[in-house]
Chain A
Amino acid sequence: MSTGIYILAFAVLLAGLYAIVAKKNIVKIIVGLLAVDYALNLMLVLVGYRTGGTPPILVEGQTPAKLAAAAVDPLPQAMVLTSIVIGLGLTALMVALGIRLYERYGTFDTNRIRRLRG
């Protein structure tokens, strides 16, 4: 199961990268970037996963050593929280830029949003 999930997460990452590289619509590029973000967060959480592990919360009567042996790794979860918030900021900025671009150029087509050359 574990390798399968990693491969799936990597497939989402590649799908997102494909959307960024190949799509000509700004909204689709934004969705591709979101897919890349999600795939990265998923992989980060998977790194800390332990099959049959418990949530990393100390229950009554449990010693820290037992918790460390039975729980999933909490550090990637902390990293993912930060990463999700960073993704939130990026999404907000990207969508705002997309809206402003539509106001200025009248289109979402990157073939027509091409005044800067050379």
Chain B
Amino acid sequence: MMPFVPLLVILPLGAAFCVVAMAQVNWMRRLTAPLAIAAVLANLVISAMLLGFGDIRFFVGGWGPESAIGIELVCDGLSKLMAVTINLVALVAFVFAVPYMRRFTKVWLFDSLLLLMIGAMNGVVLAGDLFNLFVFLEIAAIASYALVAFGCEAEELEAAFKYMVLGTVGSAFILLGVTIIYSLTGQLNMAMVHSLLGKVGPGGPAVLLAAALLLSGLALKAAMVPFHAWLPDAHPSAPAPISAMLSGVLIKASGVYVMARIVFNVLGASDRLAVILMAMGTLSMLIGVLLAVGQWDIKRLLAYHSISQMGYVVLAIGAAAQVASRPSPDMALAGLCLFGGLFHLFNHAMFKSLLFLSSGSIEQQTGTRELKKMGGLARRMKVTSFCCRVGALSISGVPPFNGFFSKLIIIVALVLAGHEVLAALAVFVALVTLISFIKVQRYALEGAAADDRAANAVEAPVLMQAAMVVLAVICIVSGLAIVPLGEHVLGPAADALLGAGRLLSTGGAP
């Protein structure tokens, strides 16, 4: 099983280069999309197969575990959860993109960039040492800057430039944090850094500076308030499959996942870090949803909701870190917080991608993103509006969809951990989310058509419908299948974070 782990990174990267080569030959240009879909499908199959095996450590280039400077790919429970999420959303986005991208020229550029982004995100979740994490983060980020600007219209370029400047500053902070950690410990391997930092002392000023820089850079990647300014411009301006990928996977894989990894497995969960995470999470939850409710552009509304839902996940992770750092830690409670947070992360990938894809379908068929110009789409675009409704109900936390279960677990875990006020705020935010999606339903799907084009809208092409239906089915099923999901996927993921040092310890038996 071990040789399959680097394939998760190699397949999309290799396919990206093959796509660029193939595009130079006229008759091969039409094959780029099938090649890309084949690569991502293979990725999804491999990551699904990897779920069944235990923790895997792969040493690139044949360097063994004895050497301290080899590149290590670590595939533990959390990596597997993220890999499945990334590859699933990527496959659906690619299938959706086949008819959607017909309005653009040079679609092979899009295929190649998106494959680069997918390969890099797989690399981020598999990376076992800090510098490779940074490199893959940068590959994914650069690909996403180019993808946001893909249409080359004025607003897309402005959004991409703003995103690029802020994203580069965030990456600069991350690199500076990694530099300081390297100068303190002389190691880049995450497990070794963890054990060496334990000796240096987690409270020293250098470690605090490194932690602050890393958390700021990662909060910028994850679009936490107050680092969120790029997201409401970048996500709506991107083409719909890219919005789904950005909101559905990139802010998670390169933001929240790396934050959780670094707080739990590198720096060690401490009360200080936990309070910062919880504060950022709460602020993001509240401000995201309050800013979202007043939006009239459907994609901008969804983008603000991404900020808010990521706030839920970061709040849950922070609560878990706080519980785990108490003098007598209740590991079961920390595990419950993490379970809720990671389940919400998976669920958000599913329903946010679904919502962005359905908004893309609506935009393509009605030609507008303004809610006030749509209307009555439930009668004319049945599949799209059904999927949109499923997504809206999931994000609002209505049973039996998946959002309900993950939000319930987060709220219950917060109450058990002693943060009743935060739990009440989470319930309030869920209510305001419901309100804003009732608004979306009322203006987009119900009511009378406000515009000529909206009045004559027909259903989207079959591939787009298929992509949305797949995600909608997953939204419905993953809520009901919470017990087997929890046992086989989320439980090992939470263990990977909490049992810090258990797997990632180098040398000797785990």
Contact = CB atoms under 8 A, between A and B. Distances in A.
Interface of A: 13, 17, 20, 26, 29, 33, 36-37, 40, 43-44, 47, 75-76, 79, 82-83, 86, 89-90, 93-94, 97-98, 100-101, 104-105, 113-116, 118
B165 A47 contact: no
Contacts of B188: 75
A76 B232 CA distance: 37
Contacts of A118: 232, 295, 300
B432 interface: no
19 contacts: A13-B172, A20-B169, A33-B165, A36-B168, A40-B176, A40-B179, A47-B183, A83-B175, A86-B135, A86-B138, A89-B142, A90-B168, A93-B146, A94-B161, A101-B154, A104-B157, A105-B158, A113-B161, A115-B154
Interface string B398-415: 000000000000000000
Contacts of A115: 154-155, 158
Contacts of B165: 20, 29, 33
For the complex of A and B, the 10 pairs showing the least CB-CB separation, nearest first, are A104-B154, A47-B183, A116-B233, A86-B138, A36-B172, A101-B157, A97-B161, A44-B179, A100-B157, A40-B175
Interface residues of B, number: 34
A86 to B, nearest CB: 5
B237 A116 contact: yes
B152 A100 contact: yes
Interface of B: 69, 131, 135, 138, 142, 145-146, 149, 152-155, 157-162, 164-165, 168-169, 172, 175-176, 179, 182-183, 188, 232-233, 237, 295, 300
B161 A98 contact: yes
A47 B188 CA distance: 13
Overall SS of chain A's interface: helix
B390 to A, nearest CB: 28
Contact of B179 (A37, A43, A101): A43
Nearest to A6: B183
The CB with the most chain A CB atoms within 10 A, among B142, B159, B164, is that of: B164
B172 A37 contact: yes
A29 B158 CA distance: 14
A94 B164 contact: yes
Contacts of B146: 93
Contacts of B232: 118
